[in-house]
Amino acid sequence: MARGFVSEGRRFLRDPALLGAVVILWLLLALFVLYPLFELLVRAFSDEGKFTAQPLLDGIADPSNRAAFVNSLILATAVGVMGTLLGFLFALTATRAGLGRRWLTLLDATALLPLVSPPFTTSIAIIFSFGPKGFISHHLLGFDNVSAYGFWSTALAETLTYFPIGYLTLRPILAAIDPNLEEMAFSLGGSRWRIFRTVTVPLCVPGFANTFLLLFAASLADFATPLILAGNSFAVLPTQAFLQITGMFDFKGGAVLSLMLLVPAAAVFLLQRYWVGRRVYVTVTGKVGQRSRTRAMAPGASVGLVVACALVAIVIVYFYALLVYASFVVAFGANETFTWRHYGVIFTEGLPAIRDTLIIALVGMPLGGFYGVLVGYLLARRRFPGRRAMEIVTIINYALPGTIVGIAYLMAFNDPPIALTGGMLIIVACYVFRYSPTGIRATVALLQQIDRSLEEASSSLGAGSGETFRRVTLPLIVPAFFAGLGVVFIRSMTAISATIFLVSISWTLITVRILENMTELALGPAAAFSVFVIVVVFAVVWGLSAVLARFRAPTAGAAARSLLGG
């Protein structure tokens, strides 16, 4: 690799800071992105040291694997469609229904709740609300013998968990549509419905496509929800891969299932990034935050929208209220006496998990933030050989479903020479390289709006690239730095799909404890842990937003949004 760089221009070589940064980054990327993926491919394609596609072909030929593959696609499509609709509903209400600032804040808070929560919260709530003796299905609606397991409950839980991504994507697009367009159509005599149909919706089409693909990818990668809710007649790939490896110790089978998952995930990612993603970018640019007038919406329609949103918001709030309730009663459903016991449990027996998670999150946070800013800066501002390749490689772990990343890490780092399993570093590295692309994107977006001449002035006054970066660029991209920090922190507190493979005796995670608690009938501690995570994450998000608000850079808002959208 180094030889390739040498052949490039002298300027690159004369800039030791740039050269050093690029070389170090490539080494890190090779170790934590390319090597694990390579190990996974080797495992899937080799048999006693020889290359063979047989395991993969066998895997594809296995009818239960094929069923899981099809199920995954069906589920992802359903979640994509329903989540896009729900996100659009919320975005439309936020931008067109003429809500006051306070109501908007409330709407935002409910919509964001699912995004910053541990992954099982919705699943737990659904089981207790919609099971055969569920609170809603049985006590409220009187149904008997409803199953809480299967396609619909999984799709519903994932939709409620991921629709905020749709909301965050569509809201700026709707806000950016020039109100004059709608107004012109109105004054030309079009009905409001007709305008909505022929002006507003068509302008959102790239946004819809983008949202659909993001939700599709999120569902494809989701492992926790199906594990709890899918039951046994609706198997999906990430869960199958997990059971194959942890239950059957079939690394090869797990690798094969992961590869089957890789194909649609990669396809969706490339589609989103190189086709839809660009179009949306052009539509949004420079218009973020502008609010249209409320005239384009009939009063009746506004009320309808608000009511629909309120209903969804009530369901979400109800789910979380149930969780809080379960954390405060002795035994949910049997002995509903108030108790602090479960919080006692998580702060005594659960304390190592809390401590480990916080340490991991706090170590990963600055590393992830700095890494994101550095890579973003290099990609947006510097020319060096292999820049494009670096952009793609930095995004691999983000685009891959967590199950694949976790399995690949487990395979790559279990045995010497690079034995990292059992330590903290492997979990931190997993989070940093998986969740920093949000920080990278935020940095790139921010830098595109800052005039290059500032940095050129610094260079021409004799500062080296390191000094220019530190004293000129870095202060300008502080908002992106905090966005990167925030995402890594949030995901370190809430993610499970990759890191469930990486926990060990010395380093465990709250999310893994929650899953354990749930599978061993300790619902109280599981609920208490979840409430704790939500409170901490909300506090940190609030703190970071307050910091971001101080930097009144033009894209601070975008950075804040990407804080949650990643």
Please report, as ranges, the residues that interact with another protein according to CB under 8 A: 17, 20-21, 24, 64, 127-128, 131-134, 145, 147-149, 227, 231-233, 243-249, 251, 330-335, 349, 363, 366-367, 370, 374, 410, 414-416, 419, 421-425, 466, 470, 503-506, 508, 516, 518-523
3-class DSSP assignment, residue 452: coil
Q: Where are the alpha helices (DSSP H) in 222-298?
A: 224-229, 237-246, 251-271, 277-284
- Please give the structure tokens belonging to residue 44: 């899937």
Least gap, CB of 427 to another protein (angstroms): 12
Closer CB to another protein, residue 30 or residue 307? 30
The H or E element that residue 365 is part of is helix 351-381
**Distance between CA atoms of 534 and 287, rounded to whole angstroms?**
32
Nearer to another protein (CB atom), residue 310 or residue 425: 425
Q: Which residue, 48 or 415, is less far from another protein as judged by CB?
A: 415
Q: Which is nearer to another protein, 182 or 222 (CB)?
A: 222
| Residue ranges in 46-150 assigned as alpha helix (H) | 54-61, 63-96, 101-112, 121-130
| Alpha carbons 497 and 223: distance in angstroms, whole number | 6
Residue 47: strand pairing partners: 50
State which residue, 300 or 416, has the beta carbon closest to another protein.
416
Nearer Cβ to another protein (127/495)? 127
560, amino acid identity: A
Provide Rg for the chain, Cα atoms.
Answer: 24
> Which phi and psi angles does 320 have, rounded to 5°?
-75, -30
Which DSSP letter does residue 320 get?
A: H
What SS3 state is found at 60? helix
Question: Between residues 200 and 517, which has the closer beta carbon with respect to another protein?
Answer: 517
Rounded to an integer, what distance in angstroms lies between the CA atom of residue 438 and that of residue 137?
39
Q: Quote the CA–CA distance of 118 and 537 in Å, as a whole number.
A: 10
Q: Closer to another protein by CB, 243 or 308: give it.
A: 243
39 vs 182 by CB, closer to another protein: 39
On whether the CB atoms of residues 460 and 394 are closer than 8 A, the answer is no
- Smallest distance from the beta carbon of 327 to another protein, in angstroms? 15
129, 131, 149 from 143: Cα distances, Å: 12, 10, 15
Cα separation of 340 and 386, whole Å? 56
| Shortest distance, position 240 Cβ to another protein, whole Å | 10
Q: How far apart are CA 381 and CA 166, in angstroms?
A: 30
Is 211 or 443 the residue whose CB approaches another protein more closely? Answer: 443
CA atoms of 320 and 442, how far apart (whole Å): 31
Shortest distance (Å) from residue 20 CB to another protein: 6
d(CA 362, CA 364): 6
Q: How far is CA 90 from CA 84, 93, 110, 170, in A?
A: 10, 5, 11, 9
Max CA-CA distance within the chain? 78
Which CB atom, from 66 or from 291, has the smaller least distance to another protein? 66
Phi-psi label, residue 462: left if phi above 0, alpha if psi -120 to 50, beta otherwise: left
